[in-house]
Structure 1
Amino acid sequence: MRPNQIFVRLQLPFLVGVTVASIATVLAVPELSHSPLLWAGLSALAIASGVFLLPSKHWMTTAWVVVIPMLDVICIAGVRTALLAYLPTVGMLCLLPFAWIAYRFRWPGLTVVLVSGALIAALPFALGVRPATTLLAIVNVLALPFIATGISLAIHLGARSFEKRRAIAEEATAALRGALNESNETQLLLRSVLDTVTGAVAYYNARDELILANSTAEKMVEIVGFRLDIPPFAGPDVLAADRKTPISLDQQIIPRALRGEVIASHMEWLGRPGNQIAIMASSRRVHREDGTLLGTVIVAYDVTELANAIEVREEFLTTVSHELRTPLTSIIGYTEEIVDVLGERAQHLGIDAWLATIERNADTLMKRVNDLLHVADAELVLERQQTDVDVIVRRAVEQFTVVAERTGIVLDTRVETGLLADVDPRRFGQAVENLVGNALKFTARGGTVTVRAHRQESDTICVSVADTGIGMTPDEQRRIFDRFYRAQAVRENALQGIGVGLSIVKTIVDAHGGKIAVVSAPGAGTTVRIDVPTNPAVATSPAHAAAITPH
């Protein structure tokens, strides 16, 4: 406390109390005005109060301030002894300096209070003001100082407890202030990050109330005509990935996410024709450690340029494939006609090998064109029927027997019988052919390609193709199902292909409701495994997730 606060709060009440009590008693008993003890006590009071008039008061903020309450103790000792016969309760004023000392100086101060209380109690006996004739007289003289000492002890203990509580409160306040500052900084950082990222981000709490959204998200929903903070969080101008099918309000991204549906790489078209954007959205529910729902995060990216580019690419593939297929069909047809017309004369003329090369390459090119047409298809429609999968696998493998013998590769087939499943025989056979063809292509002479088919579970059939070829790196495995992707080793070795074989396999497997997995390592070969259900519920499945879902 500052010196003026010390005077007002601690010294002034004592000064007024002693002065009023002394004047009142002297007026009632005039002869007390000649008491040396009274004047000695008042002199000590005057000195204790007068020090506040000194120009230099910095010492009052140090331990030397104890001089003031000690002068007050001397004051009350003299005044109490002088007025003991007439106003013994004046001794209660000793509580003020005692409390000051006990609070300010704690345990050392409490010792001073105890000694001072004993001196105040003993002074009347020492000066013979009140002889100790009876036990009651002794108790009356000693009671007040020792009671005051006990009260001072209580004040000391209370002050100590108060200081501890205040320290705890200050620590808690500081921690709370730090947490608040950190929270504000985190929120500011989060807001900056959200406004920096190119994607739209929105966060709703467990009560479906919008807590946070960046400007990209707000602009994105403006195209549709709704607001992120007002239900139903959906608008009328939203189309499915095919850019044709309207999506009802309750089936749009935000309502689905808030219902707890898991959304992953879901595509929609927003806005009216002429002002449409394509978005790819995902959502995730956030839970506390105890499992209670905290909220829902929704993220969407503008993929309009990508979607338009893919649409142009698909149109280009379709157009080019059809343009190639028409003259290629004529080439194949006329080549076959020439072979039929010439018959054995082709050999005599020395052109039989040429015609065979034309036929072989034309068939290869037609297969490439058909692959391109298949890739360009927006939807894969299956013609399912109960089929012996083991028969399909054996037929697919038989087509490569000659190729395997010519290239010196062992083609090992291990196929169980009676593998009935509800599949499209043509499409499933195409998938197996692509796998076996790929394995032979990437296996060197003397290697082995193993084809297996067996029942994995009561409702699942597993077909695997393993080779001892060049294998793949982890990065190549991540991109193996991307259309038109060809690994570095394939490009360096100039192996034939356009990079759509495994993409087609995955499309067919997905359409059958199955799964595909790859295990490979550089120089250790590759194993591709497909699992298909024997009786799936869905008969038709869109291919490639509207042509832009990453594989």
Structure 2
Amino acid sequence: MKSVKSGAESQKGRGEKVRHRHFFHHHRNHRDFHQFHKYFRWVRPGVILFNLLFLYVLFSWVGNTAILLLLVAFIAVKEVIHLFFLRRLERRLFAPVQELDQGVKEIAKGNYDVSIDCDIPNEIGALIVSFNEMARKLREGEKLKQEYEENRKTLIANISHDIKTPITAIQGHVEALLEGVPDSPERAEKYLKTIHRNTIYINKLIDDLFLFSQLDLGKLALHRQTLSIRPFMQDLMEEFKFELEERQCAFTFNDRLAQEHHVSIDGKRINQAVRNIIGNAVKYGPERDLAITVELYQEGDFICLSIQDNGPGIPSEKLAFVFDRFYRIDRARTKDLGSTGLGLAIAKELIEAHGGAISLSSKENEGARFIIALPVERSDHEANPDH
């Protein structure tokens, strides 16, 4: 253990020496640069004054006006050219490097709101452009980090609440059963059904959380296949029609495709996304006379699936949050409905993972309409350019 520790300490010591040496060289180079800059800013005017004094003394000794004027003209032209290049060097090198140095110091302090204005078409200008791009990416990264931290806190709070509620119910009913509170088999069975319902809810919540975390991290493997969209959707809608009609729900499917098209999808995941949307309509729709209409059609390079219900609709101020994780429009009914608050968020992530998009339009008391858009397979689109 001592040898391992001493090796780690020696490695740390070498790292400190490297950092110290780097800091020393950087500090020395920085000092040399400023001295060089100071020379060009302050020593050159002194040289000009010295030249003027030299000419004055020379004129006093020689007294030849023609030679003196020639020397004056020569020195004047030389100094003007020198000053021109000095100003150019100041503007194109020294000033930008100083601004860049100040920007690096701000970045080192953790201030990423730094941007250097520079329109110089040289290596320094390219370096400043790269610096601004680096600062922008650091700024975006810091913002994303803060958003992830806020999301993490919200996620933990929501998970804690959503798991604690059914666990508390399970615990209460189990304790009641152990204490012999139910005075009849019917009441005991009711307690057991409540326990069973809550365990199902917890299991579904955990499954949804796992799936959403995989989607959020981009680690969900999609098993894509190139499928004909029409028979796939017809089979899927037959399945929904059978399930919904058992619940006394009027279900209609309209196929408006002019011809067959192919899409590259993971059928299981598309089924899951559509099921989440239709399931949401069933949960929040009216208990009687619920009607759901699904239409399949093409729009440009996309195959669209419209899902319309006649439910209570969604208030306009809540539309922007519908696809957020754990967002529930009617929190009072959520527990009774068995909703985890992740269904629509998962549907959105699944569709976008296929390169598609999902949108929502709704008005209160007029139902809601979800539209899923999936890209047409490229080879299929190229074979039918007029559609």
TM-score using structure 1 length: 0.37
Matched, 1:374 2:211: yes
Alignment partner, residue 509 of structure 1:
351
Structure 1 segment 209-228 matched on structure 2, within 5 A: 219-220=106-107, 222-223=109-110, 228=115
Higher helix share: 2
- Pairing partner for 2:370 from 514, 528, 535: 528
Match of 2:133 among 254, 257, 266: 254
Distance 2:197 2:238 in 1: 18
Is the CA contact (8 Å cut-off) linking 1:393 and 1:429 kept in structure 2? no
Could you tell me which residue of structure 1 aligns to residue 229 of structure 2? 389
- By how many angstroms is 1:398 displaced? 4.6
In the alignment, is the contact (CA less than 8 A) between 2:310 and 2:367 conserved in 1? yes
2:113 and 2:135 in contact (8 A); partners too: no
2:290 counterpart (447, 469, 475):
447
Quick check: 427-436 or 308-317, which moved more? 308-317
The one-letter code of the counterpart of 1:367 is K
Determine the C-alpha separation between the residues in 1 that align with 2:306 and 2:297. Answer: 9
**Larger RCO, structures 1/2 (Cα 8 Å, 6+ apart):** 2
**Letter aligned with residue 252 of structure 2:** D
Change in Cα spacing, 1:415 to 1:403, as seen in structure 2 (3 Å) is same
Percent identity (aligned): 24
Deviation at 1:521, TM superposition (A): 0.4
2:140 match:
280
How far the C-alpha of 1:369 sits from its partner, in A, is 2.0
Shift of 1:366: 3.1
Task: Flag the structure with higher strand content.
Answer: 1
Residues of 2 paired with 1:362 and 1:388: CA distance?
Answer: 39
1:299-318 equivalences under 5 Å are 302=143, 304-311=145-152
User: What letter is aligned with 2:313?
Assistant: G
Contact 1:449-1:467 within 8 A present in 2 as well: yes
Deviations 1:509-541, CA, capped at 9 Å, x for gaps:
21122122211101110000011102369xxxx
Q: Given residue 385 of structure 1, which amino acid in structure 2 is its aligned partner?
A: Q
Measure the CA separation in 1 of the matches of 2:240 and 2:265.
22
- Give the greater-gyration-radius structure (CA): 1
Match of 2:318 among 462, 476, 489: 476
On the 8 A contact 2:114/2:135 being kept in 1, the answer is: no
Deviation of 1:407 after TM superposition, in Å, equals 4.0
Counterpart position of 2:50: none
- 5+ unaligned residues in a row in structure 2: which ranges? 1-95, 117-123, 164-185, 380-387
User: What CA distance in whole angstroms lies between the structure 2 residues aligned with 1:398 and 1:355?
Assistant: 34
Q: Distance in 2 between matches of 1:408 and 1:507?
A: 30
User: Do 2:292 and 2:309's aligned partners in 1 also have CA atoms closer than 8 Å?
Assistant: yes
Cα deviation, 1:406-447, whole Å, max 9, x if unaligned, reads 543211122367442111112111111111111112221112
Separation in 1, partners of 2:140, 2:132? 10
Preserved CA contact (<8 Å) 2:114 2:132:
no
Distance 1:303 1:447 in 2: 42
**Partner Cα distance (2:150, 2:278) in 1:** 32
CA distance in 2, matches of 1:400, 1:443: 16
Counterpart in the other structure of 1:461: 303
Is contact 1:321-1:370 (8 Å) kept? no
CA distance in structure 2 between the partners assigned to 1:390 and 1:460 by the alignment: 13
Query: Which residue pairs with 1:433 in the alignment?
Result: 275
Q: 1:221 to 1:428 in 2, by over 3 A?
A: farther
Q: With structure 2 as the length reference, what TM-score do the two structures score?
A: 0.51
- Residue 220 (structure 1) shift: 4.2
Given residue 264 of structure 2, which amino acid in structure 1 is its aligned partner? D
Contact 1:221 1:228 in 2 (8 A): no
One-letter amino acid of the structure 2 residue matched with residue 431 of structure 1:
A
Q: Is the 8 A contact 2:362 2:369 kept in 1?
A: yes
Equivalent AA in structure 2 for residue 451 of structure 1: V
SS at match of 1:531: strand
Matches within 5 A, 1:61-80: none
Distance 1:427 1:480 in 2: 20
Describe the shift of the 1:306–1:520 C-alpha distance in structure 2 as closer, same or farther (beyond 3 A): same
What do you get for the CA RMSD once the two structures are aligned? 4.8
* Unaligned stretches of 5+ residues in structure 1: 1-208, 235-248, 258-267, 271-278, 282-300, 323-348, 538-551
Moved more, 419-428 or 519-528: 419-428
